[in-house]
C-alpha cells in the first residue's frame, strides 16, 4: 500500500517534469495574448491585506476588483478623493486589462476630483486650489497613460486621453496625436479621425497638415461630411487662401452648425 503511494508520488513528479516545457510555453502564449499580466506585488499585498492578496492569488482577481470598485464608489459619494485614488490604483493593478476601470478612474480624477479641488472652500489660497486641481488632472492623465500601456491593442483609452488633453489641458497638438493613434485601430469609433483633424487645426504650425487631413476625410465619403467638418474646412480654406477651384466645401450647402 505505502509502496504504491510512493510510486504514485514518483510518477506525479515524472509527469510534472515532462509537462514543464508545455506549461512554460502555455504561459508564454497566454501572456502574448494579454492574459496573466496582472502584477501581484508586495506593494499590492500591503494595500489589499493578506486575505485580499490570497483571493487575488487564488483566481479571484476580478471579483475582488469589483468589490474594491464598489468601495471606491462609496468614497466618491463621500467625496474622499484621496481614498478613491488609492482604491483606483489597486483596482487597476488587479484588472489592468479592464478599460472601464482605467477610463472611469481617469474621469473621476481629472473631472470630478479636479473640479472639487478647485472649488474647495476649506482652502483659502487660490494658488493651492489650482495646484491641487492640476495634480488631479495629471493623475487622471497618468491613469489613461498606464491604461494604454497595459492595453496597447485597444483604441478606447487613446480617445479618452485625447479628450482629456483637449478639454482639461487644452493641449491641442498632443490631443490630435492621441486621436490619430486611436483612429489607426480598425475598430476605432469613426469620430476619432474627425476629432484628430479638429484638434490638428487648432495646433499652431499644423494648419496645412490639418486641412489636407480633413479634406481627405471629407473625400472619404458622406459619413464623414458632418456640419462641423464642412464649416471648419470652409474656414480653413479662407485662412489658407486655397484657390476657389481647389475648394471642396463649396459643393456643400451652408450648415446651421
Partner 1 sequence: MNTSGPTLAIARNTFTELVRQKVFFFLLIFALLIIGNSAFMAKFSFQEQFQMLKDISLGAMSVFTSLIAILATANFLPKDMEDRTIYTLLSKPVPRYRYLLGKLLGIIALLAVATLLMSVLFLAILWLRESTVLAETRAQLQGASAEEISLALKEVTNATFNANLLPGIVIIFIKSSLLASLTLFLSSFATSSIFTIIMAAALYFIGHLQATAREYWLSGVDVEWWSRLLPALVALLFPDLQAFNLTDDIIAGTAVPVALFLNTAGLGILYVTVYFTLAALVFSGREL
Determine if 16 is a binding residue for partner 1 (CB under 8 A): yes
Cell of 164: 482629456
Nearest CB to partner 1, comparing residues 95 and 133: 95
What whole-number distance in Å separates Cα of residue 87 and Cα of residue 39?
16
Residue 115 touches partner 1, criterion: CB under 8 A: no
DSSP-derived letter for residue 121 is: T
Binding mask 134-173 for partner 1 (x = CB under 8 A): --------------------x-------------------
Length of the chain measured in residues: 257
Tell me the closest approach of the beta carbon of residue 246 to partner 1, in angstroms. Answer: 28
Name which position in 90, 93, 95, 160 contacts partner 1 (CB under 8 A).
Answer: 95
The CA-based diameter of the chain, rounded to the nearest angstrom, is 97
d(C-alpha 16, C-alpha 12), whole Å? 6
Using the rule CB under 8 A, is 229 a contact of partner 1? no
Of the pair 179, 211, the CB lying nearest partner 1 is at 179
Q: From CA 168, how far away is CA 162, in angstroms rounded? A: 10
User: According to the binding rule CB under 8 A, does residue 198 interact with partner 1?
Assistant: no
Angle between helices 191-201 and 156-167 (to 10 degrees): 30
Binding pattern for the stretch 20-59 against partner 1, x by CB under 8 A and - elsewhere? x-xxx-xx-xx--xxxxxx---------------x--xxx
Q: Does 220 bind partner 1 (CB under 8 A)?
A: no
Among 82, 54, 42, 48, which residue's Cα sits nearest to residue 68? Answer: 48
Nearest to 105 by CA among 125, 83, 120, 124: 83
Q: Interface with partner 1 by CB under 8 A: which residues?
A: 1, 3-5, 7-9, 11-13, 15-17, 19-20, 22-24, 26-27, 29-30, 33-38, 54, 57-63, 65-66, 69-70, 73, 95-101, 103-104, 154, 189-191, 223
Amino acid at each position: 500500500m505505502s509502496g504504491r503511494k510512493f510510486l504514485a508520488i514518483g510518477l506525479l513528479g515524472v509527469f510534472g517534469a515532462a509537462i514543464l516545457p508545455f506549461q512554460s510555453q502555455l504561459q508564454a502564449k497566454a501572456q502574448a495574448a494579454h492574459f496573466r499580466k496582472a502584477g501581484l506585488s508586495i506593494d499590492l499585498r500591503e494595500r489589499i491585506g493578506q486575505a485580499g492578496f490570497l483571493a487575488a492569488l487564488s483566481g479571484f482577481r476580478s471579483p475582488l476588483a469589483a468589490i474594491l470598485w464598489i468601495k471606491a464608489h462609496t468614497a466618491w459619494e463621500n467625496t474622499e478623493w484621496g481614498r478613491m485614488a488609492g482604491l483606483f490604483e489597486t483596482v487597476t493593478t488587479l484588472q489592468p486589462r479592464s478599460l472601464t476601470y482605467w477610463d472611469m478612474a481617469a474621469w473621476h480624477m481629472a473631472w470630478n476630483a479636479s473640479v472639487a479641488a478647485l472649488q474647495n472652500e476649506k482652502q483659502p489660497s487660490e494658488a493651492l486650489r489650482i495646484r491641487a486641481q492640476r495634480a488631479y488632472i495629471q493623475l487622471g492623465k497618468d491613469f489613461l497613460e498606464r491604461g494604454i500601456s497595459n492595453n496597447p491593442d485597444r483604441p478606447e483609452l487613446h480617445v479618452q486621453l485625447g479628450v482629456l488633453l483637449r478639454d482639461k489641458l487644452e493641449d491641442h497638438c498632443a490631443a490630435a496625436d492621441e486621436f490619430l493613434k486611436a483612429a489607426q485601430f480598425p475598430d476605432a469609433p469613426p469620430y476619432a479621425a474627425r476629432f484628430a483633424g479638429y484638434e490638428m487645426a487648432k495646433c499652431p504650425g499644423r494648419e496645412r497638415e490639418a486641412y489636407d487631413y480633413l479634406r481627405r476625410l471629407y473625400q472619404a465619403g458622406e459619413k464623414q461630411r458632418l456640419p462641423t467638418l464642412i464649416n471648419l474646412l470652409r474656414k480653413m480654406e479662407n485662412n489658407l487662401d486655397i484657390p476657389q477651384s481647389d475648394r471642396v466645401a463649396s459643393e456643400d450647402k451652408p450648415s446651421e452648425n
